[in-house]
Structure formats: C-alpha cells, structure tokens
Amino acid sequence: MRKPLFRAFLTVLLLLTLALTGCSRQAEEEKKDDALLLGFSQLGSESGWRIGNTKSVQEAAEAAGIRLMLENANQSQEKQLTALRSFIAYRVDVIAFSPIVQEGWDNVLREAREAGIPVIIEDRTVDTKDESLYAVHVGSDFYSEGVMAGEYLLKKLSTLPPETVLNVVELTGTQGSSPMLLRSAGFRDTVAKEPRVHILDSISGDFMISKGKECVRLMLEKYGTEFDVLFSHNDAMMYGALDAFGEYGVIPGRDVIIISVDGEQQAIDLLKEGKVNCVVECTPMLGEAIMQIARDLKDGKPVEREVYSSERAFTEFDDLSQLAPRGY
C-alpha cells in the first residue's frame, strides 16, 4: 500500500479508536451516574449503636454500587428536616432516614410523596395517620425488647427469696423517640403483673453516656440503697451508670441488677464479667436491608411494609462462651 494512503488509513483508525474509547468511558460515566442515588439522614452519633448503624449503611451502599448522600443531624430534628428537603430538591431516587422523634414528619413526607420520591424509615419510627407517606419501615420491634427486659427481671426475681421486692429505676432514651416509648411500655406491661416489682422512678439520659452518668448520680442521691434495679434503654447510658455506681461504691450486677438494651460488644463483655445481668439485642446492621429495599422501590417491585430484625436477650443465665463478636 502506498505510504501516504497507509498513513491516512492509520490516522482514521486512530481517530476511530479514540472516539470509541471516549464513548465507552462516557457510557461508563452515564451508567455510573445512572447508579441509584440514596439520600440518607442519620440522626446523630450519640452511641456505639448509632455509629454501627451509620457504618452498616455506608458499607452496604458501597457493596451495592449505590451512591449515598449522607447527612448527620447531630441530634437535631430541624437539621433532619433540612437534609430531607435538600434530598427532595436534589431529586434523589430514594430517601432513607432514622427519625430522632416520632412526631413532626408529615409535611416533609408529603413533599417527598409529591416529588415522587419513595421513603424508607430505618431504625426508629414516625407517628403518622397517613400510611401513604412512607413505603417501608425496617428496624427493631422496640416493644418486644422491653418485654424481653421485663421477662428477664421476672426470671431473676424467681431466683431470689420470696419476700424480695425489687425497686426499679428506669433510665430512658430520647424523650418522644419510638425506642424510648416502646421499650418502656413493653417493660412496664410485663412487670405490671408482679406486685413485688415497683418502678421507683424514670429519668431521661437521652441515650448518652454523660447524661446516663448524671442521672444515676441523681438517683443514688435520691434513693440510696432503695435502688435495686437499673433498666437502661441503651448500652451507652448504662456505661455512664456504671461509672456513677463506682463513685458511690455500689457493685453493679450484684448490689444493683443491671438491664440494658443494644447488645454492643462492650456490653456483652460486661455481662460476661458479671457487671451487667441482662443485655437485650437491638441490631444496628440494617444497611443491607435498606439497599435491597431501595433497589426494589426504584425498580417498581413490591416491598413489605414492615421489616423487623429478629432479636434476643443475653442474660446471666445463658452460656455466652460461643457468642460471635457483635461487630458494633
């Protein structure tokens, strides 16, 4: 083939190759841009549980090839509402959020519905009369967690002398949040049938270590040795409580029966050491379920309205030697 003609042929071939490569890269970009975009409003970082929940969502999004817009509200409902409205404005494909409290979501959920953006409620729940305002709730049955805590205490009481009376201090989570309201209801409904169990007092530690410590100091000042049982709505507040007991020379797990909820590794370790008597599981590992539901919603597939995690209680009566690491 004559040289100029061959050179022209090579030039055309090179240009074609570049054009095709560029198109495939653009197509790749568009495909990636077509990846599902999930807006996720996390309520805060108040406990090891919450940090585990955020990690679970981030890792599951990465594994599923789902683009995640994550906003942390640092315990502020106002910031959550702002984040949800920014997701709507950005026209994400799906919204997921853990509502810090039950009330006050109808308007923003209506805006999401009008924008045609399906909403997944994860972890805590909202209180709404309009079921069309969200597609799915995925999380724990908080009432059952309270029941399991109460059932443990009744079992513990059955091992004590028949004249024993147990005075309970309830250390509650964030006021108006579904875990706080439902764990309390489940526990109280369960122990109500036992006249030898009294709820001495209830005080909110807002699910935080520091506030849990302050509250238990107050309760020890107020009730002293009348304080027989601590029912803490989460492990973080229980850790603070154990610090307070230490300051007052009270031996947790012996002088005071300790019941907690979440099932963090640290809490299970304390249970094995005998410093805690019962830890009710509440798994934060909701990421995979959220991503599958988001994918199904985007693909227009049918989804279950309510997806509950299966959970158990770990108690001093159990053999915990084979328990797998908790992962949070």
Binding piece for ligand GZL, criterion CB under 6 A, among 45-53, 70-78, 305-313, 320-328: 45-53
Pick 39 or 52: Cβ nearer ligand GZL: 52
Contact (Cβ atoms closer than 8 angstroms) between residue 148 and residue 313 = yes
Pick 133 or 282: Cβ nearer ligand GZL: 282
Pick 93 or 235: Cβ nearer ligand GZL: 235
Applying CB under 6 A, among 41, 184, 204, 234 the residue interacting with ligand GZL is 234
Q: How far apart are the C-alpha atoms of 162 and 195, rounded to whole Å?
A: 12
Contact (Cβ atoms closer than 8 angstroms) between residue 205 and residue 215 = yes
Contacts to ligand GZL from residues 246-275, by CB under 6 A: 261-262
In 3D, which of 268, 59, 293, 261 has the Cα closest to residue 147? 261
Contact between 40 and ligand GZL by CB under 6 A: the answer reads no
Pick 247 or 306: Cβ nearer ligand GZL: 306
Q: How far is the CB of 43 from ligand GZL (least distance, A)?
A: 8
Contact between 276 and ligand GZL by CB under 6 A: the answer reads no
| H or E element that contains 70 | strand 67-72
b/e sequence 236-269, b meaning 16+ C-beta within 10 Å: bbbbbbbebbeeeebebbeebbbbbbbbbebbbe
Applying CB under 6 A, among 39, 41, 50, 99 the residue interacting with ligand GZL is 50
Pick 157 or 174: Cβ nearer ligand GZL: 174
b/e sequence 162-176, b meaning 16+ C-beta within 10 Å: eeeebebbbbbbbee
Contact (Cβ atoms closer than 8 angstroms) between residue 87 and residue 41 = yes
Contact (Cβ atoms closer than 8 angstroms) between residue 199 and residue 165 = no
In 3D, which of 177, 173, 227, 183 has the Cα closest to residue 204? 173
Pick 49 or 227: Cβ nearer ligand GZL: 49
Q: How far is the CB of 53 from ligand GZL (least distance, A)?
A: 7
Amino acid identity, position 99: P
Contact between 213 and ligand GZL by CB under 6 A: the answer reads no
Pick 233 or 295: Cβ nearer ligand GZL: 233
Contact between 179 and ligand GZL by CB under 6 A: the answer reads yes
Applying CB under 6 A, among 39, 41, 42, 47 the residue interacting with ligand GZL is 47
Count of residues of this chain found to bind ligand GZL when the rule CB under 6 A is applied: 15
Q: How far apart are the C-alpha atoms of 272 and 289, rounded to whole Å?
A: 30
Applying CB under 6 A, among 37, 46, 205, 229 the residue interacting with ligand GZL is 46
Q: How far apart are the C-alpha atoms of 303 and 290, rounded to whole Å?
A: 11
Contacts to ligand GZL from residues 135-164, by CB under 6 A: 139-140
Applying CB under 6 A, among 87, 207, 239, 314 the residue interacting with ligand GZL is 207
Contact between 172 and ligand GZL by CB under 6 A: the answer reads no
Amino acid identity, position 187: F
Q: How far apart are the C-alpha atoms of 193 and 195, rounded to whole Å?
A: 6
Binding piece for ligand GZL, criterion CB under 6 A, among 42-50, 74-82, 105-113, 319-327: 42-50
Binding piece for ligand GZL, criterion CB under 6 A, among 43-51, 56-64, 72-80, 298-306: 43-51
Q: Is 240 left (phi over 0), alpha (psi -120 to 50) or beta?
A: alpha
Given the rule CB under 6 A, which residues bind ligand GZL? 46-47, 49-50, 123-124, 139-140, 179, 207, 234, 236, 261-262, 282
